[in-house]
Amino acid sequence: MEPEYLYTDEDAKKLVNTGTEEEILDAIEFGPRSLATAIRYYAILDVDSLEKMKFFNTLFRMNIQQIRDNLKDDGTEPNLGETNSKRRVKKDPLALPEIMSNPIDSEPKKTRKTKALEPSEQKEQVPAE
């Protein structure tokens, strides 16, 4: 097991503030996805040096300063990973899924069953020459 799998949030915070670029890249490459998310979160909130900010900007393809400015405007913390999407069209609670469009009480389609002919009947149906 890679040691990056044992990192906690405090380790991620320490890595962002005091870790080298190689240590951060190793943690993101070999650690779980949650570690990369924590590093991104602390990079947005805690990084003060311009060099590290540029490093995280290129690493995560984001503009940390712009994100911080947006956070100051609405006063919220970043929500990394969760989406807060809402349906634009109200779903009809009485509508049935496509599979269940036929009501249970309705009669099934009647199919015509063919009767198996007995050997004596088969001979009679052959046209005579």
pLDDT in tens, 89-122: 666 656 555 554 455 555 555 566 666 666 665 5
Return the domain boundaries, the chain: 3-74
Write out pLDDT tens, residues 36-93: 999 999 999 989 899 999 999 999 999 999 998 888 876 666 665 555 556 566 666 5
Measure the CA–CA gap between 24 and 51, rounded to whole angstroms. Answer: 14
SS (H, E, C) the chain: CCHHHHCCHHHHHHHHHHCCHHHHHHHHHHCCHHHHHHHHHHHHHHCCCHHHHHHHHHHHCCCHHHHHHHHHHHCCCCCCCCCCCCCCCCCCCCCCCHHHCCCCCCCCCCCCCCCCCCHHHHHHHCCCC
**How confident is the model at residue 119, as a pLDDT?**
62
Q: Sorting pLDDT into bands at 50, 70 and 90, what band is 125?
A: low
Whether the per-residue pLDDT at 33 is higher than 90: the answer is yes
